[in-house]
Amino acid sequence: MSARVLVGVKRVIDYAVKIRVKPDKTGVVTDGVKHSMNPFCEIAIEEAVRLKEKKLIKEVIAVSCGPQQSQETIRTALAMGADRGIHVDVSGKDYENLGPLQVSKILAALAKKEDVRLIILGKQAIDDDCNQTGQMTAALLDWPQGTFASQVDFQEDSLKVEREIDGGLETIKIKMPAVVTADLRLNEPRYATLPNIMKAKKKKIDTVKPSDLGVDLSSQLEVLSVEEPSQRQAGVKVETVEDLIKKLRDSGRI
Amino acid sequence: MAVMLSRSSRQLCNVSLCTFALHKWRCYSAQGQIPSQVLDSFRAVVGNDNVSTGTSVRAQHGRDESVHSCRPPDAVLWPKCVEEVSELTRICHRHNIPIIPFGTGTGLEGGVVAMNGGVCFDLLKMDKILNLHEEDFDVTVEPGVTRTALNRYLRDSGLWFPVDPGADASLCGMAATSASGTNAVRYGTMRENVLNLEVVLSDGSVIHTAGKGRRARKTSAGYNLTNLFVGSEGTLGIITKTTLRLYGIPETIVSAVCSFPSVQAAVDSTVQILQCGIPIARIEFLDDVMIDACNRYSKLTYPVTPTLFLEFHGSECSLEEQVTATEEITKSNGGSEFSWARDQEMRNQLWKARHNAWYAALALRPGCQGYATDVCVPISKLPQIVMETKKDLEKHTLTGPIAGHVGDGNFHCLMVFNSADLEEVQRVHEFTKRLARRALALDGTCTGEHGVGLGKKQLLQEEVGHTGLKVMEKIKTVLDPQNLMNPGKIV
């Protein structure tokens, strides 16, 4: 199989970090905060690397869109087994406005440029929870999509994708080229080991600009404010059932 | 009824049968009150929100995962930095108030039980991971950092901290109890992996046991203060930072399960594997009672005979060698074919049985309590002690499935008993004493990894000897003349 797979990896605030909202409510605090690869992107990379180990595909390309630090995320993907990386350099205001629509335009352009047969993405990012990039990319390319994948069977020209949906599992068959988005139970990603981290340092990361790909990054969305969820109020203890009913009545609940 | 220890009695008795195995959830009221001006001075240091005298908060902090019944402290404080710990300690020192450090409360020997009341320092708000040096394989952590939190933080660096006592314990707490775990046979215990500690002493002064910021792999500078505090269970000082030695995440991990026709065969295999110098990473033994419990609890179908769970770490090539050599040994002892697992998911499946052992044991007799023994002997004595222990269990009709890190010569009998049945409690108590003495007679120790805590003080004396214990007591007196640091534990 000579297929090339493109995997998108996003640099996000590490899932174990306690998020704090900036006092000016324009966003969350990111300075000095630990960042790492989006957990669903880890699952996507793991799936791609396993396909390569089974010799079903030829090459895994890891892509990340963002500032210089995105290269760290690509290095992690390389340490997990991706063959080479592409860093799409987006910074400043463009980076603040970078959302699923812009990223999917970039991925679609790269997919054509690199002659890719399969795109694997995480189902969503843990910072924005958009769950749109995979779907938009497939639409832009007019490719079939297998989203929320919990199992992927690679066949000659098609994929059998088992999807997690409300109420159970749905299995579909889609022709390649296609877009797959990884759900939690697809696999358990490997840890990057020291020898692989060392090897990854020698693998290539190409840097491109969105303009090189002919992509327009303008956004129709504007973030108005970011706020913390309201503080939990202390509960009230009541002595009797009558008191409870009275309190519920007084607060208009019954 | 339990005997209530009065505050004036400094002569603490060894824990009597009464406190052993009483219902954990019945919590006795405070031993003494802390004067309100002292509470105010605590509030001035840490803020109102970080001082509590609430009943349920104190009860939470008066017990751990052991059978020892709850003895709540008189107040719980949450310092946020070492300066606050130091200031609070000074206040307690001035007013002669006992101090009990608290991490995750996952200890197994009653280490946090406030026998004399006093103040509990809940250190979990100090939860920073500091100074990770990837090239030097070391990192410093505060008490609020647990083992899994550290390993999650490290996952992109290719490094990990392998000491794994089972619970998601605080790393500083693990240092305080000299914890060990399933990986000790290859990576060592806390004793071998702590490079430096920041400790607050009983008078509030702060020391760095190897010097501030020092993290040399080895040193011969002066007395080994680091290892003095490792395992001191809060009786000599409060650990507020630990510098740990890290290891590379293994390139390849392979797990296997092998069944044996007898306990002798399984344990003999273990001894031979180690004597061959095979660098096995985990070698866990489950006896037939334990395997049966695991089968039922986790719905598995392992043959109900003594079983070894093995794990190999290394490069592809070295793994092949290790596995071939190990298989030769197990086959020669009548071991079955190996059940293999390589992928993360399959390995987790395989180890599920072992990880759920505690709950599987408890499920054998729902409603009963559990207690794990913890003896450790030189590996050549392992077959003898396991066989004798099994005979003892049968003779006294006790439920005690065995699971253990046999690679270190350490095994646990997970005693399951009805704590309301005083006669059974008595039998269990005597069994554990016999077991500990059996281990001591074979040049072993009464506690391989859980610590002395409340319940093993008498055994400690038998283990280190009268003179040895006197030296420990002298050290305690020098470092804690007022006996305020977690009194009633160890000495």
Give the nearest chain A residue to B248 (CA atoms). A194
Q: CA B317 to CA B345: how far, in whole Å?
A: 22
What pLDDT sits at residue B351? Answer: 81
Nearest Cα neighbor of B131 from B215, B200, B32 is B215
What pLDDT sits at residue B346? Answer: 82
Residues 170-199 of A with CB under 8 A from B: 187-197
CATH code for the domain in which residue A147 is found: 3.40.50.620
Nearest Cα neighbor of A98 from A130, A121, A122 is A130
What pLDDT sits at residue B358? Answer: 86
Give the nearest chain B residue to A190 (CA atoms). B344
Chain B residues inside the 8 Å CB shell of A150: none
What pLDDT sits at residue B8? Answer: 34
Q: Give the 3-state secondary structure of residue A113.
A: helix
Element (H, E) at A146: strand A145-154
What pLDDT sits at residue B33? Answer: 82
Q: CA B170 to CA B124: how far, in whole Å?
A: 8
Query: CA B273: distance to chain centroid?
Result: 26
Chain B residues inside the 8 Å CB shell of A36: 155-156
How far apart are the CA of B388 and the nearest CA of chain A, in angstroms? 42
Q: At what angle do helices B263-275 and B316-332 cross, to 10 degrees?
A: 140
- Closest partner residue to B251 among A34, A187, A193, by Cβ? A193
Q: Give the 3-state secondary structure of residue B104.
A: coil
CB contact under 8 A, A197 and B160: no
Contact, B280 vs B185, CB < 8 A?
yes
Query: CA B316: distance to chain centroid?
Result: 33
Q: Quick check: B485 pLDDT over 80?
A: yes
- Closest partner residue to B249 among A16, A76, A193, by Cβ? A193
User: A37 — contact with chain B (CB < 8 Å)?
Assistant: yes
How far apart are the CA of A15 and the nearest CA of chain B, in angstroms? 10
B485 C-beta neighbours (distance < 10 Å), count: 27
Q: CA A9 to CA A81: how far, in whole Å?
A: 13
Q: Is residue A203 part of a domain?
A: yes
User: A9 — contact with chain B (CB < 8 Å)?
Assistant: no
Domain extent at residue A59: 4-226
Which residues, 6+ apart, have CB-to-CB distance to B350 below 8 Å?
A: B255, B256, B257, B309, B339, B341
CB contact under 8 A, B344 and A188: yes
**Beta pairing class for A118-122 and A4-8:** parallel
Strands (E), B111-249: 119-122, 129-133, 138-141, 159-160, 194-200, 206-208, 238-245, 247-248
What pLDDT sits at residue B27? Answer: 44
pLDDT tens by residue, B279-321: 999 999 999 999 999 999 988 888 999 999 999 999 989 999 9
Q: CA B238 to CA B112: how far, in whole Å?
A: 13
What pLDDT sits at residue B22? Answer: 41
Q: Which CATH number applies to B252-441?
A: 3.40.462.10
Q: CA B118 to CA B95: how far, in whole Å?
A: 11
CB contact under 8 A, A193 and B155: no
pLDDT tens by residue, A188-238: 999 899 999 999 999 999 999 999 999 999 999 999 999 998 888 888 888
* Mean pLDDT along residues B186-190: 95
What pLDDT sits at residue B32? Answer: 67
CB contact under 8 A, A195 and B160: no
Phi, psi of A11 (to 5 degrees): -85, 120
Output DSSP code: residue B450.
S
Q: How many domains does chain A have?
A: 1
- Closest partner residue to B345 among A14, A188, A193, by Cβ? A188
How far apart are the CA of A195 and the nearest CA of chain B, in angstroms? 8
Q: CA B118 to CA B92: how far, in whole Å?
A: 9
Q: Is residue A215 part of a domain?
A: yes
Contact, B327 vs B439, CB < 8 A?
no
Q: Which residues in B330-366 are b (16+ Cβ under 10 Å) and which e?
A: beebebeebeebeeeeebeebbebbbbbbebbbbbee
Give the nearest chain B residue to A14 (CA atoms). B153
CB contact under 8 A, B345 and A195: no
B487 C-beta neighbours (distance < 10 Å), count: 23
Give the nearest chain A residue to B157 (CA atoms). A192
Q: Give the side-chain half-sphere CA count within 13 A for A102.
A: 21
User: A71 — contact with chain B (CB < 8 Å)?
Assistant: no
User: A16 — contact with chain B (CB < 8 Å)?
Assistant: yes
CB contact under 8 A, B249 and A192: yes
Domain boundaries, chain B: 2-125+475-479, 129-248, 252-441
- Closest partner residue to B155 among A188, A191, A196, by Cβ? A191
Phi, psi of B5 (to 5 degrees): -80, 125
- Closest partner residue to B158 among A16, A36, A192, by Cβ? A192
> Per CATH, the architecture of B2-125+475-479 is what?
2-Layer Sandwich (3.30)
What pLDDT sits at residue B66? Answer: 85
- ipTM of the predicted structure? 0.81
How far apart are the CA of A116 and the nearest CA of chain B, in angstroms? 27
Q: Is residue A249 part of a domain?
A: no
Give the predicted TM-score (pTM) of the model: 0.86
CB contact under 8 A, A16 and B343: no
Token pair recorded at residue A213: 């790909």
**Alpha-carbon distance values, A158 to A106, A149, A163, B123 (Å):** 24, 15, 15, 55
For the CA atoms of A39, A154, A196, A198, the dihedral, rounded to the nearest 10 degrees, stands at: -90
Residues of chain A with pLDDT under 50: none
Domains B2-125+475-479 and B252-441 share a fold: no
Chain A residues inside the 8 Å CB shell of B168: none
How far apart are the CA of B251 and the nearest CA of chain A, in angstroms? 6
The region of weakest confidence among A126-140, A226-240, B84-98, B336-350 is B336-350
- The top-scoring range by mean pLDDT among A154-158, A208-212, B63-67, B379-383 is A208-212
- As a whole number, the mean pLDDT across chain B is 89
What pLDDT sits at residue A34? Answer: 92
- Closest partner residue to A195 among B157, B159, B251, by Cβ? B251
How far apart are the CA of B149 and the nearest CA of chain A, in angstroms? 8
Query: Given pLDDT bands bounded at 50, 70 and 90, which one contains residue B29?
Result: very low
Class of domain B129-248: alpha beta
